[in-house]
């Protein structure tokens, strides 16, 4: 293990020079009886165990390797504040599951709920020169009223996995000015060759913002605007002869953002990048830069050897992007997990499209409504500068909104999140409820596995004729989920098969709890034949604009990956690629 695990800069779309990585060995103390607050553990931090941050408690890489952690756990470490830092210091925790309370030098400085969204706290008022004490209390639960994705809760489905508890992304400090830039989003308009940027600051101000677009070290466009007593400024930058971003050519432009005070002095500067691309749909297909795009996607759960939710190093994240592309896919649907920004960075760099999906809860309550909404909007704000992301997916298969047909508040929640997503970002597609029971969104997406009942072609044909018919072709199956909800309009929407395949295979001795769709092939030759059978069935279904294959890797009892959990391919990569590229090859892209 490196002295500082995951040492790379953790927020690639908004970089500053002055920062301090706090990953590594921390003191650690489980609090199964929840006495730490009563006994004021934040004062002395006299903990008896240790943990390696940023790896979750359940992971091997954390050194804890505890699959049944206490619901309350404490972290502590000391750090030296760099002597040249001035004005304000921010503490960042990339992600921590689930309820986080932070103390600096015995003073509580902030709280955060949510296991997937970033934590950003101004800790300047609690700091002292030299040595400082940082203590973090984390509380989690097994409740399905909180968004938890595929972490096993009070019940464990055959598709659920071990839990994730505590800190699982980088912890770091950052030196900033009193008024500073804290968010950036941009989108490109193809018809005017214009990059539209929105920059946010931590408070209202009258400062001036300058943005420069840089290509290979040369400034190709520049714009200046005032914040005009607001905390948000919008600028438009015309980019002549723009090199467009796409999977075939993932061209990126550098951005430099400079903030000047009322006297013209530079008070903040950050660097970023932008991919100039436009995502939309024409009623039949997804379009990228005005051209039809056939989506060849793979379902990716985002779990890793040793680190579980957390890749042990940056190269592991890059490897997953490279493997996805090598297998013939142009898109990863990150399933029930908000991924590390460094994964999105490599997808930006290497040209992999991404669907970002919010982890679900499974019990509809007021708590789920408020926590999912807050967390989802925070995630969008964090990630909307990444050009690789082309779609937002707030719900999957009606998880947590099971009764939309006869409970209008649940349908209102789903439609409301679609509206809020569009309010945050007009430049991407929104898939309101992926899989079935369409109510609102930009695509009609369906989950159909070969062999469940009838053929993919027959079921799709029935759904296109009657969108409110059963997704499986059987009234009893899955609680009779329909393709679309009553009154929902799916005409003039592209149709995609966003879960299919799911063919299981393993050479290991079966334990009895393995999960896959259909019978297990007995040999590699039979596995390839099954892949080709599913591919042919998808090709026979007219009118599809793409597919998502289940899934990239095995995870615990799920053995339907194209790769084993250690990323070893179950068939030669070129064989898998040939199958995946054969799907949709009769469509003119």
Q: What is the DSSP string of 345-379?
A: HHHHHHT-EEEEEPPP-SS--HHHHHHHHHHHHHH
Q: The domain containing residue 225 runs over which residues? A: 181-274
Q: DSSP code of 405?
A: T
Q: Is the pLDDT of residue 410 over 90?
A: yes
Question: Which of 259, 274, 289 delimits the end of a domain?
Answer: 274
Per the structure, the count of domains in the chain is 3
Examine residue 8 and state whether it is found in any structural domain, yes or no.
no
Give yes or no for a contact between 176 and 133, defined as CB atoms under 8 angstroms apart: no
At 6, the pLDDT band (50, 70, 90 cuts) reads very high
Q: Is the pLDDT of residue 359 over 50?
A: yes
Examine residue 589 and state whether it is found in any structural domain, yes or no.
no
Measured distance CA(351)–CA(330) in Å, rounded = 8
Q: Is the pLDDT of residue 333 over 50?
A: yes
pLDDT tens digits, 157-179: 999 999 999 999 999 999 999 99
CB-based burial, 488-506: b 16+ in 10 Å, e otherwise? bebeebbbbbbbbbbbbbb
Residues 240, 91 share a domain: no
Give yes or no for a contact between 427 and 392, defined as CB atoms under 8 angstroms apart: no
- Span of 95-99, 456-460, 502-506 with lowest mean pLDDT: 456-460
Q: Is the pLDDT of residue 427 over 50?
A: yes
Average pLDDT of the residues in 557-582: 98
Q: Which residue has the higher pLDDT, 46 or 101?
A: 101
Examine residue 341 and state whether it is found in any structural domain, yes or no.
yes
At 587, the pLDDT band (50, 70, 90 cuts) reads low
Residues 215, 131 share a domain: no
- In the predicted model, what is the mean pLDDT of the chain? 95
What is the number of alpha carbons within 13 Å of residue 357 lying toward its C-beta? 27
Residues 565, 453 share a domain: yes
Residues 424, 554 share a domain: yes
Residues 265, 153 share a domain: no
Residues 494, 561 share a domain: yes
Residues 446, 334 share a domain: yes
Per cent of the chain over pLDDT 90 is 91
Tokens 């997503």, residue located? 421
What is the number of alpha carbons within 13 Å of residue 264 lying toward its C-beta? 0
CA 499 vs CA 491, 502, 520, 534: distances in Å: 21, 8, 18, 12
Average pLDDT of the residues in 194-219: 98
Q: DSSP code of 339?
A: P
Three-class secondary structure of residue 424 per DSSP: helix
Which CATH number fits the domain that encloses residue 47? 2.60.120.260
Q: Is the pLDDT of residue 474 over 60?
A: no
pLDDT tens digits, 84-105: 887 899 999 999 999 999 999 9
Examine residue 10 and state whether it is found in any structural domain, yes or no.
no
Radius of gyration of the chain (CA): 24
Q: Is the pLDDT of residue 478 over 70?
A: no
Measured distance CA(374)–CA(380) in Å, rounded = 10
Examine residue 11 and state whether it is found in any structural domain, yes or no.
no
- pTM beyond 0.85: yes
Examine residue 75 and state whether it is found in any structural domain, yes or no.
yes
At 393, the pLDDT band (50, 70, 90 cuts) reads very high
pLDDT of 453 reads 47
Examine residue 1 and state whether it is found in any structural domain, yes or no.
no
Which CATH number fits the domain that encloses residue 200? 2.60.40.10
Question: Which of 149, 176, 203 delimits the end of a domain?
Answer: 176
Q: Which residue has the higher pLDDT, 195 or 46?
A: 195
Three-class secondary structure of residue 293 per DSSP: strand
Residues 53, 186 share a domain: no
Which CATH number fits the domain that encloses residue 510? 3.20.20.80
Residues 353, 433 share a domain: yes
Q: Which residue has the higher pLDDT, 193 or 44?
A: 193
Residues 189, 91 share a domain: no
Q: At what angle do helices 314-326 and 341-350 cross, to 10 degrees?
A: 40
Examine residue 189 and state whether it is found in any structural domain, yes or no.
yes
pLDDT of 155 reads 78
pLDDT of 472 reads 72
Residues 296, 247 share a domain: no
Residues 108, 210 share a domain: no
Interacting residues of 360 by C-beta distance below 8 A, sequence separation 6+: 147, 148, 149, 336, 372, 395, 396, 399, 400
Question: Which of 219, 239, 274 delimits the end of a domain?
Answer: 274
Which residues are paired to 219 by β-bridges?
A: 214
What is the number of alpha carbons within 13 Å of residue 514 lying toward its C-beta? 20
């Amino acid at each position: 293990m490196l002295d500082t695990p995951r040492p790379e800069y953790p927020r690639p779309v908004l970089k500053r020079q002055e920062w301090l990585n706090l990953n590594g060995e921390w003191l650690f103390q489980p609090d199964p009886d929840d006495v730490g607050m009563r006994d004021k553990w934040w004062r002395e931090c006299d903990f008896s165990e240790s943990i390696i941050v940023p790896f979750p408690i359940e992971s091997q890489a954390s050194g804890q390797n505890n699959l049944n952690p206490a619901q309350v756990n404490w972290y502590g470490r000391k750090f030296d504040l760099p002597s040249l830092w001035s004005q304000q210091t921010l503490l960042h925790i990339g992600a921590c599951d689930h309820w986080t309370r932070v103390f600096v030098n015995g003073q509580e400085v902030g709280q955060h709920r949510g296991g997937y969204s970033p934590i950003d706290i101004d800790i300047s008022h609690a700091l002292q020169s030299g040595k400082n004490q940082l203590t973090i209390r984390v509380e989690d639960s097994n409740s399905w009223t909180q968004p938890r994705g595929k972490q096993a809760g009070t019940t464990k489905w055959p598709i659920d996995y071990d839990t994730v508890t505590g800190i699982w992304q980088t912890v770091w400090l950052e030196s900033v000015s009193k008024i500073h830039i804290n968010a950036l989003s941009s989108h490109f308009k193809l018809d005017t060759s214009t990059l539209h940027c929105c920059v946010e600051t931590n408070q209202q101000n009258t400062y001036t913002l300058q943005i420069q677009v840089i290509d290979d070290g040369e400034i190709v466009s520049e714009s200046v605007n005032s914040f005009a007593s607001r905390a948000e400024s919008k600028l438009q930058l015309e980019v002549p002869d723009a090199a467009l971003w796409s999977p075939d050519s993932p061209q990126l432009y550098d951005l430099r953002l400079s903030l000047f005070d009322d006297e013209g002095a530079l008070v903040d500067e950050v660097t970023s990048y932008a991919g100039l691309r436009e995502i939309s749909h024409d009623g039949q297909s997804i379009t990228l830069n005005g051209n039809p795009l056939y989506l060849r996607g793979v379902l990716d759960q985002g779990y890793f050897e040793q680190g579980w939710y957390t890749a042990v190093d940056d190269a592991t994240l890059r490897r997953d992007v490279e493997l996805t592309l090598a297998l013939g896919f142009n898109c990863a649907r990150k399933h029930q997990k908000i991924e590390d920004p460094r994964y999105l960075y490599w997808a930006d760099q290497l040209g992999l499209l991404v669907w970002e999906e919010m982890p679900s809860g499974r019990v509809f309550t007021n708590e789920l409504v408020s926590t999912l909404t807050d967390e989802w909007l925070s995630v969008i704000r964090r990630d909307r500068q990444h050009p690789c992301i082309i779609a937002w997916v707030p719900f999957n298969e009606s998880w947590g909104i099971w009764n939309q047909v006869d409970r209008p508040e649940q349908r209102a929640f789903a439609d409301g999140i679609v509206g809020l997503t569009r309010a945050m970002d007009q430049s991407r597609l929104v898939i309101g409820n992926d899989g079935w029971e369409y109510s609102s969104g930009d695509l009609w997406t369906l989950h159909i596995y070969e062999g469940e009942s009838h053929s993919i072609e027959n079921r799709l044909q029935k759904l296109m004729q009657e969108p409110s018919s059963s997704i499986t072709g059987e009234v009893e199956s899955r609680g009779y989920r329909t393709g679309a909800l009553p009154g929902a309009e799916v005409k003039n929407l592209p149709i995609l098969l966003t879960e299919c395949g799911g063919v299981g295979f393993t050479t290991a001795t079966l334990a009895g709890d393995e999960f896959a769709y259909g019978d297990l092939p007995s040999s590699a030759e039979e596995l390839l034949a099954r892949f080709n059978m599913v591919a042919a069935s998808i090709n026979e279904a007219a009118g599809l604009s793409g597919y998502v294959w289940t899934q990239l890797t095995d995870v615990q009892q799920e053995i339907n990956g194209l790769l084993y959990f250690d990323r070893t391919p179950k068939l030669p990569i070129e064989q898998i690629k040939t199958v995946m590229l054969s799907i949709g090859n009769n469509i003119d892209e």
